[in-house]
Structure 1
Amino acid sequence: MKTIKVNVVTPDGPVYDRDVEMVSSKAQTGELGILPGHIPMVAPLEIAALRLKVEGKTEFVAVNGGFLEVRPEQVTILAQTAEKAEDIDVERALRAKERAEQRLREHKQEDLDFRRAELALKRAINRITVAQHKA
């Protein structure tokens, strides 16, 4: 089966580098499915799971924003942060989720940065969801 090279890179370095059969991601404009030979494009990404089909199985990477660049033989994801499912510290993600939920509840009582807490909650939920898919 044809494959496409996928590189996921963060400011801290590479996170994922492998040939895959299909890439699925959530861009700000909607869900994207990318196969080998896809037309070139660039898209801003949402906080969501990156799904990578490899040898009939799906691998997951938690991506927290960034950009996706597609070329016919390669997909590059430049993410603010990214973690493979098996690398996620679930306990840490659960604590982050609880802190974010607490901040959102307190927002009604204080003038706290609501958007920042909301994004922290999305990141934590994304990490927890992706971690549930580890092999």
Structure 2
Amino acid sequence: MATLKVGLVSPEREVWSGEAKMVVAQTIEGQLGIMPGHAPVLGVLLDGSVVKIEPADGGEWVSAMVGSGFFSIADNEVSVLAEQAELGSEVDVADARRALDEVLSAGGEGGTAERRARARLRAAGAEA
């Protein structure tokens, strides 16, 4: 079975890498599902969105919050280059809820900080 070679990186670190069956990313133009054999694409990530990866080994889907950035697809390789990225499994849900409450109480509704705070909660599997 064909797979994708996936790398999700931020300036600080490599967040996730490995073989995958599918990657789902939210772009500024809409959601994109990427499977082996996908045509080459260069896209802009929606700031404050969640990237989901279905590992090739049959493990649980990996979810990560991403800030602004880009992704590229070519020859069954997917590169996700995000200004900010955090795996859902690394998110402290209580801390993420506090951060969202702080943004909302400061009047930051609809801004980048709110989108990123909500994306952290979604990546962790918590309602935002």
Name stretches of at least 5 consecutive residues in structure 1 with no aligned partner: 105-113
The code of the aligned residue for 1:78 comes to L
> How much has 1:56 moved relative to structure 2?
6.4
Question: Does 2:105 correspond to 1:123?
Answer: no
TM-score of the pair, normalised by structure 2 = 0.88
The code of the aligned residue for 1:102 comes to S
Residue equivalent to 1:40: 40
Count of aligned residue pairs for this structure pair: 123
TM-score of the pair, normalised by structure 1 = 0.84
Question: Hey, what's the Cα distance between the residues in 1 that align with 2:91 and 2:84?
Answer: 12
The code of the aligned residue for 1:88 comes to V
Question: Hey, what's the Cα distance between the residues in 2 that align with 1:8 and 1:56?
Answer: 17
Residue equivalent to 2:77: 74
Within a 5 Å distance, the mapping from 1:39-118 to structure 2 comes to 39-46=39-46, 47-54=48-55, 55=58, 57-104=60-107, 118=111
Question: Hey, what's the Cα distance between the residues in 2 that align with 1:93 and 1:45?
Answer: 21
Question: Hey, what's the Cα distance between the residues in 1 that align with 2:11 and 2:94?
Answer: 24
Question: Hey, what's the Cα distance between the residues in 2 that align with 1:23 and 1:35?
Answer: 7
Indicate the structure (1 or 2) with the bigger Cα radius of gyration. 1
Identity over aligned pairs, percent = 30
Residue equivalent to 2:28: 28
The code of the aligned residue for 1:48 comes to S
3-state DSSP of counterpart to 1:16: strand
- Structure with more of its chain in helix, by fraction: 1
CA offsets, 1:68-94, max 9 Å, x none? Answer: 111122100110111111111222211
